């Protein structure tokens, strides 16, 4: 059976931007900061974050202000990050 996770996680350039910015930040970011760094409008950003959380590539950190971070415990995330670094999409 085909694993659809990659299709969901890599379905848009917005999701790639989110992955890149969360990796480069190296710390959890608020939705405002992700919006500012990626240029993605809030409605699309929320949709992309929800998709990435549904496949466990991004974790939401609850608090007064919700923050988001890559799930570095996910082998898939680390494979994607490595591939993006290999093609110089991520520094």
Whether 1 shows a pLDDT value over 70: the answer reads no
| Architecture of the domain spanning 5-86 | Orthogonal Bundle (1.10)
| 3-state secondary structure (DSSP) of residue 29 | strand
Backbone angles phi, psi at 14, to 5 degrees: -60, -40
pLDDT digit string, tens, across residues 12-30: 999 999 999 999 999 999 9
Q: Name the helix (H) or strand (E) containing 69.
A: strand 67-70
Locate the domains of the chain by residue range: 5-86
Give me the residues paired with residue 68 across strands: 29, 60
pLDDT digit string, tens, across residues 38-62: 999 999 999 999 999 999 999 999 9
Percent of the chain whose pLDDT exceeds 70: 98
Residue 29 near residue 59, CB atoms below 8 Å? no
Q: What is the pLDDT of residue 6?
A: 87
């Amino acid at each position: 059976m085909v694993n659809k996770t990659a299709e969901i996680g890599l379905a848009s350039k917005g999701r790639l931007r989110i992955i890149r910015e969360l990796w480069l930040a190296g710390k959890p970011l608020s939705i405002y900061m992700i919006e500012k760094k990626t240029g993605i409008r809030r409605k699309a950003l929320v949709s992309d974050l929800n998709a990435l959380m549904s496949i466990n590539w991004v974790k939401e950190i609850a608090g007064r202000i919700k923050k988001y971070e890559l799930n570095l415990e996910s082998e898939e995330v680390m494979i994607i990050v490595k591939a993006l670094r290999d093609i110089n999409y991520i520094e």
